[in-house]
């Protein structure tokens, strides 16, 4: 089996799917790409048994065939080659791979493609078309709040809640929560499922910058995403998502409006002086003035700053983990944010001062108890 392909075109495509491959895999074959030549196209696949991803590249080939090629050595080789046509020659007897470039030859041992795991295909699925920017936006706003706690598997992914008039994406790690709703999408039937964090990270990196439609289909066990020659499938997290609405406080009489970047920059500076375990900063709100302060008694470090703000409500002092607030402000749109507060022991809510059209974004952060 022989084929010729552009080195940069091949690198670009297999780079997108290379992130699927785990570094500590159980089966050696999972460290490979599966290459399949058909109708003048090369289909490259990668899987870790939970997530599978494939992409296609135009090639010059007179015959069809398949081979499994070690991913790391191929990627490392292509990254160092300048743009040029390269020729692959595969021995069907022992799957030895020979790559020929303008100036050199590189030989590596391929593997039997029949040993490569079967990739799930959509069966009995429900399909929804989503604009790529909507999915990109949702993933970008939710991923940072996903938990890494394997003991609570439901929280290690993003909840997709599909309803006839809207779709809601939710992520939480019990300390912070994000709920992002799009109201400009029509869904035929209601459904909900949890997509793992790794799959969404890969999807986010693969979605093209220009507008395109993504076909998302799902059944009881898998979700499938298809766009512009790329297919991603992942096993859904089989767990019950916590009742996130129950933890969102409804009565928040204290309302703080403040410039997003000023607030974020202040938190970045003040957090340098905070306790390295709790990262606690204290917000003291008095009239139209917000004081942000932190101290680390172990090292006698202390800092405070005053910021102008608009505030309605009683004077209030409340503590938060600065890192959580900085992350939230980093993905919050707009120049100004609102913080809805009730008491020093109840969660604070962050929302954009001017909501984007057809979307609702709410972020919740749990307080850190003040050291009195």
Same domain, 147 and 231: yes
Q: What is the pLDDT along the chain (372 residues), one digit of tens a residue?
A: 999 999 999 999 999 999 999 887 789 999 999 999 999 999 999 999 999 999 999 999 999 999 999 999 999 999 999 999 999 999 999 999 999 999 899 999 999 999 999 999 999 999 999 999 999 999 999 999 999 999 999 999 999 999 999 999 999 999 999 999 999 888 888 999 999 999 999 999 999 878 789 999 999 999 999 998 899 999 999 999 999 999 999 999 999 999 999 999 999 999 999 999 999 999 999 988 999 999 998 899 999 999 999 999 999 999 999 999 999 999 999 999 999 999 999 999 999 999 888 999 999 999 998 764
Domain boundary among 245, 267, 299: 245
* Pair 229, 134 in one domain: yes
Res 44: pLDDT: 98
Could you tell me if residue 258 is inside a domain?
Answer: yes
Measured between alpha carbons, how far is 130 from 184 in angstroms, rounded to an integer? 10
Shared domain for 60 and 95, answered yes or no, is yes
Residue 83 tokens read as 């743009």
Helix (H) or strand (E) holding 12: helix 7-18
Strands 280-286 and 316-321: antiparallel
Last residue of a domain, one of 115, 141, 173: 115
b/e sequence 27-55, b meaning 16+ C-beta within 10 Å: eebbbbbbbbbeeeebbbbbbbebbbbbb
Q: Are residues 339 and 320 in the same domain?
A: yes
User: Do 154 and 67 reside in the same domain of the chain?
Assistant: no
Half-sphere exposure (Cβ direction) of 122: Cα atoms closer than 13 Å:
15
* pLDDT given for residue 372 in this prediction: 46
The verdict on 152 and 235 lying in the same domain is yes
| Overall domain count for the chain | 3
Domain that residue 132 falls in: 126-245
Q: What is the DSSP letter of 59?
A: -
**Dist. CA 16–CA 5, nearest whole Å:** 17
Radius of gyration of the chain measured on its C-alpha atoms? 25
Q: Which helix (H) or strand (E) holds 294?
A: strand 289-296
CA–CA separation, 276 and 291 (whole Å) = 20
> Which residues, 6+ apart, have CB-to-CB distance to 43 below 8 Å?
35, 36, 37, 54, 55, 56
Instruction: Find all residues with CB under 8 Å of 252, minimum gap 6, and list them.
Output: 340, 341, 342, 349
Does any domain span residue 286?
Answer: yes
CB 66 within 8 A of CB 34: yes
- Side by side, the strands of the sheet bearing 280-286 are 301-308, 289-296, 280-286, 316-321
Partners of 57 in beta bridges: 42
Note whether 96 and 41 are same-domain residues.
Answer: yes
Q: Are residues 291 and 194 in the same domain?
A: no
Contact 222, 51 (CB under 8 A): no
- Quickly tell me which residue has 């790329």 as its tokens: 230
C-beta of residue 55 within 8 angstroms of C-beta of residue 230: yes
277 shares its domain with 351: yes
Q: Per the domain annotation, does 49 fall within a domain?
A: yes
Asked if residue 360 and residue 255 are part of one domain, the reply reads yes
Domain boundary among 115, 135, 168: 115
Residue 277 forms part of a structural domain: yes
Residues 260 and 235 in one domain: no
The tokens describing 106, both together, are: 């590189």
The answer to whether residue 159 sits within a structural domain is: yes
CATH of the domain at 318: 3.10.150.10
Terminal-to-terminal C-alpha distance of the chain: 74
Report which of 120, 124, 140, 135 is spatially closest to residue 216, judged by C-alpha positions.
135
| 144 and 109 housed in the same domain | no
The answer to whether 283 touches 290, Cβ cutoff 8 Å, is yes
């Amino acid at each position: 089996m022989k084929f010729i392909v552009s080195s940069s075109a091949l690198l670009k495509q297999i780079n997108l799917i290379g992130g699927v491959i785990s570094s500590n895999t159980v089966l050696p074959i999972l460290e490979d790409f599966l290459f399949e030549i058909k109708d003048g196209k090369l289909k490259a696949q990668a899987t870790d048994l939970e997530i599978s991803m494939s992409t296609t590249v135009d090639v010059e080939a007179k015959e069809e065939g398949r081979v499994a090629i070690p991913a790391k050595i191929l990627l490392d080789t292509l990254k160092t080659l300048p743009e040029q046509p390269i020729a692959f020659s595969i021995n069907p007897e022992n799957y030895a791979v020979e790559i020929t470039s303008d100036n050199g030859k590189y030989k590596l041992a391929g593997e039997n493609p029949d040993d490569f795991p079967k990739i799930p295909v959509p069966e009995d699925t429900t399909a929804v078309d989503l604009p790529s920017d909507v999915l990109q936006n949702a993933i970008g706003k939710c991923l940072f709040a996903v938990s890494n706690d394997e003991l609570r598997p439901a929280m290690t992914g993003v909840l997709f809640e599909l309803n006839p008039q809207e779709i809601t994406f939710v992520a939480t790690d019990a300390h912070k929560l994000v709920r992002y709703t799009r109201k400009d999408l029509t869904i035929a039937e209601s459904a909900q499922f949890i997509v793992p964090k790794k799959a969404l990270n890969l999807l986010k990196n693969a979605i093209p910058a220009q507008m395109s439609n993504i076909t998302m289909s799902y059944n009881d066990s898998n979700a499938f995403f298809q766009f512009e020659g790329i297919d991603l499938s992942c096993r859904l997290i089989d767990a019950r998502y916590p009742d996130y609405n129950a933890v969102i406080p409804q009565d928040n009489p204290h309302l703080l409006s403040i410039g997003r970047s000023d607030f974020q920059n202040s938190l970045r500076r003040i957090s340098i002086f905070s306790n390295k375990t709790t990262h606690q900063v204290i917000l003291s709100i008095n009239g139209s003035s917000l004081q942000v302060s932190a101290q680390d008694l172990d090292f006698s470090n202390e800092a405070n700053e005053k910021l102008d703000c608009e505030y309605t409500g009683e004077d209030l002092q409340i503590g938060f983990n600065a890192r959580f607030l900085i992350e939230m402000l980093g993905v919050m749109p707009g120049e100004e944010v609102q913080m809805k507060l009730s008491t020093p022991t109840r969660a604070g809510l962050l929302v954009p001062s001017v909501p984007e059209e057809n979307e609702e974004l709410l972020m919740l952060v749990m307080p850190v108890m003040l050291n009195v």
